[in-house]
Amino acid sequence: MEDEYLAEPFRIKMVENLKITDRKYREEAIKKGHYNLFCIDAEDVYIDLLTDSGTSAMSDSQWAGIMMGNQAYAGSRNYKHFEDVLRGIFGYRHILPTHQGRASENLLFSSIVKKGNVVPANSHFDTTRANVESNGGIALNLVIEEAYDTEKILPFKGNMDLEKLKECIKKEGKNIPLILMTVTNNAGGGQPVSMENLKAVSKIARENKIPFFIDACRYAENSYFIKMREKGYENKTPLEIAREMFALADGCTFSAKKDGLVNIGGALAFNDDALLEIVREKLILIEGFTSYGGLACRDLEAVAIGVMEALQEDYLKNRIGQTQYLGDKLKEGGVPMVLPFGGHAIYVDAKKFLPNIPQSQFPAQALGCELYCEAGVRGVEIGTATFGKTENGKAVYPKLELLRLAIPRRAYTNRHMDVVARALINIYKRRDKLKGLKMTYEAKSLRHFTAKYEKL
């Protein structure tokens, strides 16, 4: 069909009623949650853009697969299906199920990262960084410098800076246990990585005999961006592109809660037989046997079906198109954002939105709280609370101060996106009246999940 006649490549068969609240109710709710959006009840949220992880709508085929769950501690047919499908995409010999991506990271990094090791990546996201650091490693971000210019238009702003990577290897040498590439680059605005850059990083890794892993949470979206933006891939399918990407690496961590279209699930996949011996022992100890990995077997079936649905071109066009739709609406209202728009989320540039609030007063968090009070829309801070730290008694602030609006897959209509856009544009018109926040409690690791704030 011609594009002008196409809308969503699905129809709605079931709905979930949403609770409607007023501003006074929401102001009380956010105050009760100490101005932390993680600490308010989901039922008090109208449009939940906190995360696209585990919040998407599953298809009728996935729900049917769940009903066919063959629950067995060992050797379930659902595991066999899961293993076959993921091996068909990733291409690696060993496919180990986990309950989600951070479990895969934990298994991998606790097995190969030692104290003082340096792990270079384009950008580490929060749990990735925490898993590296909890094992004594140093999580080093080597994304291209243009990624920090939110207004710069480049097709692949998630790319690794190759010269910085070479310098890191020259300096650290055998102190690097692996090189990691996140696709798409979540911390940098959901920006994709080019095949050309993946090939170059792979070549550098192999020349220096350093394992190369992909953080594959949004690999299907990255594959679609390559198809749309990179010469030579116009006529390839997202599946063909994904297979080419993974063939460049030695393994991957995978949260199926994103491009697996499920509520729970993940995998650690790789080729190294020696690593298997180490990881398998840890998996059995902390997750479960190797044929279920902390999941019910019905969930393995849902993943096996979902990963193939996520590679369908019509689905990807619609999914990334909805993000574009929201971004275009906000752009019309003058809202400053990371450009070009990412695949799974819109990232509002809180520094430019609220220039009157310094990073020490958590402008992205303050903006997220105001958006919730304004319209019941919940986003998440990707800035000082998430990536800020203290070194030698001094605060170190991240280069980017963002409010992420992560869109669950197949869950909301564009009318919901209109509400989000109207609310943010209205806040932008009175942005000079917003005040910052003071953090009154923080945990030692991943502080943004449980932090407490008070209004200034």
Could you check whether 3-52+313-455 and 60-309 share the same CATH topology? no
- Report how far apart, in Å, the C-alpha atoms of 143 and of each of 146, 165, 189, 384, 445 are: 8, 9, 12, 18, 23
What is the domain class of 60-309 according to CATH? alpha beta
Whole-model pTM: value is: 0.95
- Residue spans of the domains in the chain: they are 3-52+313-455, 60-309
Answer whether 147's CB lies under 8 Å from 158's CB.
yes
**How do the pLDDT tens digits run along the chain, 456 residues long?**
567 777 889 999 999 999 999 999 999 999 999 999 999 999 999 999 999 999 999 999 999 999 999 999 999 999 999 999 999 999 999 999 999 999 999 999 999 999 999 999 999 998 999 999 999 999 999 999 999 999 999 999 999 999 999 999 999 999 999 999 999 999 889 999 999 999 999 999 999 999 999 999 999 999 999 999 999 999 999 999 999 999 999 999 999 999 999 999 999 999 999 999 999 999 999 999 999 999 999 999 999 999 999 999 999 999 999 999 999 999 999 999 999 999 999 999 999 999 999 999 999 999 999 999 999 999 999 999 999 888 887 888 999 999 999 999 999 999 999 999 999 999 999 999 999 999 999 988 889 999 999 999
According to DSSP, residue 353 is labeled H
Q: Could you give the CA distance from residue 130 to residue 386 in angstroms, rounded to a whole number?
A: 11
- Nearest-angstrom CA–CA distance, 425 and 422: 5
Q: Domain 3-52+313-455: which topology?
A: Aspartate Aminotransferase, domain 1 (3.90.1150)
Peptide bond into 340 cis (omega under 30): yes
Helix extents (H) in 233-293: 238-247, 273-286
